[in-house]
């Protein structure tokens, strides 16, 4: 495995987050967000060759080279705050998220419309979470004998968290109202959990190819 060009560690409360530089340079910044149980890629994905600027990738709390906390307690809102710490460092970026990272990219696009210059949502692990509704209450037994990272608590908690469609819509609406972008979210995904269907309805968007999404946000006037 090739190591990324360089890695910096950013402090988020008691967690150290690993932010990897996959391609250094000037211009529009792209930040990659991995899926549930994954880590940042070691090198820049081939399909991003046309991206004109620097490319970074963040390891979420409990994943990759970031801290694995004691005793779980994951929420997607917490991961949104991970992204916000990286966005401060990068002074804004276009986000590209896979699965869980796609949902977190949506939250960040709504929560920080001034720092997120568009979010590309792609298929990947953890896309649907625990579905749109709270089902029978249960308390999962987490197999802590598993080697971490990824944190076994993250695997359980972020595959079962509830993602109501109207909650996701609220974030889509925030990005629509406050980002100033004509297309704050672009969807390049086949999986269509209720939260994502609601976002597409809210913003009245269809799916795009990755090429379309990358070239759209690469444009200086997008």
Stretch that binds another protein, among 29-37, 47-55, 164-172, 214-222 (CB under 8 A): 164-172
Stretch that binds another protein, among 38-46, 52-60, 105-113, 204-212 (CB under 8 A): 105-113
Site for another protein (CB under 8 A): which residue of 6, 144, 146, 182?
144
Site for another protein (CB under 8 A): which residue of 71, 147, 206, 219?
71
Site for another protein (CB under 8 A): which residue of 8, 73, 146, 209?
73
String marking each residue 42-61 x if it binds another protein according to CB under 8 A: -------------------x
Contacts of residue 62, defined as CB under 8 A and 6 or more positions apart, other chains included, come to: 68, 69, 74, 148, 149, 150, 151, 153, 154
Q: How far apart are CA 218 and CA 162, in angstroms?
A: 33
Residue with token string 């990286």: 86
**Considering the complex, what minimum distance in angstroms separates the CB of residue 19 from another protein?**
15
Q: Is 82 helix (H, G, I), strand (E, B) or coil?
A: helix
Contact 189, 122 (CB under 8 A): yes
Q: How many residues sit in the footprint of another protein (CB under 8 A)?
A: 45
**Considering the complex, what minimum distance in angstroms separates the CB of residue 173 from another protein?**
5
**Considering the complex, what minimum distance in angstroms separates the CB of residue 176 from another protein?**
9
- Cβ-based nearer residue to another protein, 12 or 208: 12
**Considering the complex, what minimum distance in angstroms separates the CB of residue 30 from another protein?**
21
- In Å, how far from its chain's centre is CA 208? 18
- Cis check: omega of the bond before 63, within 30 degrees of 0: no
174: contact with another protein by CB under 8 A: yes
Q: Transcribe 78-109 into DSSP letters.
A: HHHHHHHHHHHHHTSEEEEEETHHHHHHHHHH
Site for another protein (CB under 8 A): which residue of 19, 31, 39, 80?
80
Task: Of 90, 80, 112, 106, give the one whose Cα is nearest residue 31.
Answer: 90
Inter-helix orientation angle 100-111/76-90, to 10°: 60
Q: How far apart are CA 126 and CA 131, in angstroms?
A: 10
In the complex, the residues that contact another protein under the rule CB under 8 A are 11-15, 61, 67, 69-75, 77-78, 80-81, 84-85, 88, 110-112, 133-134, 136-140, 142, 144, 153, 157, 161-164, 167, 170, 173-174, 177-178
């Amino acid at each position: 495995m090739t190591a990324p060009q360089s890695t910096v560690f950013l402090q988020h409360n008691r967690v150290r987050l690993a932010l990897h530089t996959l391609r250094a340079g000037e211009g529009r910044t792209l930040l990659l967000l991995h899926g549930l149980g994954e880590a940042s890629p070691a090198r820049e994905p081939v399909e991003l060759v046309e991206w004109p600027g620097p490319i970074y990738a963040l390891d979420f709390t409990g994943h990759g080279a970031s801290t694995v906390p004691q005793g779980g307690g994951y929420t997607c809102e917490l991961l949104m705050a991970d992204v916000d710490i990286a966005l401060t460092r990068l002074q804004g970026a276009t986000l590209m998220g896979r699965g869980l990272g796609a949902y977190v990219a949506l939250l960040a696009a709504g929560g920080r419309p001034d720092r997120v210059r568009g979010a590309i949502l792609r298929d990947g692990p953890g896309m649907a979470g625990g579905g749109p509704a709270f089902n029978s209450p249960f308390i999962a037994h987490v197999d802590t004998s598993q080697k971490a990272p990824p944190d076994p608590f993250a695997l359980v908690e972020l595959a079962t968290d509830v993602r109501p469609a109207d909650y996701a819509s609220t974030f889509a609406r925030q990005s629509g109202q406050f980002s100033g972008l004509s297309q704050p979210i672009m969807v390049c995904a086949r999986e269509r959990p209720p939260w994502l269907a609601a976002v597409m309805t809210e913003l009245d968007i269809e799916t795009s190819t990755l090429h379309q999404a990358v070239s759209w946000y690469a444009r200086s006037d997008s």
